[in-house]
Amino acid sequence: MGKQLTELLKGTLEGIVLAILGERPAYGYEITARLREQGFADIAEGTVYAVLVRVEQRGLVYVEKVPSEKGPPRKVYSLNGDGRDYLDEFWRTWSFLAGRLDQLRDGEDR
């Protein structure tokens, strides 16, 4: 997928990452891998790490350094209370937008 997805991801990627963290704690490399499995084939590693830095600075996550058997220590992120609130609001906003878009698409050919 092309440039359109890149622009659509703005604002969405953050929600996606938070949603993944909502399922269970995870670290950056793992999140990137899971995104690729999920179909987001060409999301760059650097992009994911940038999101993580952002949500950490906003205080939406708890961070813990965990030594790894193969490679540098992992930074494991987990949602905290504020993060859950933020994620809830993301879902509300997303629902609103998706609703409008569905409506628009339905009205397309008629």
Partner DNA sequence: TGCCGGTACTCAGTGTTACTATCTACTGGT
Partner DNA sequence: ACCAGTAGATAGTAACACTGAGTACCGGCA
| Residues lying near DNA in the complex (CB under 7 A) | 5-7, 9-14, 27-30, 42-47, 49-54, 68-76
Residue 49 touches which member of DNA, a second copy, none, C-beta under 5-8 Å by kind? DNA
What's the CA gap between 14 and 21, in Å, rounded?
Answer: 11
The answer to whether the beta carbons of residues 6 and 44 sit under 8 Å apart is: no
Supply the minimum distance, in Å, between the C-beta of residue 108 and DNA. Answer: 19
39-78: contacts with a second copy (CB under 8 A): 39-40
| DSSP symbols for 13-29 | HHHHHHHHHHHS-EEHH
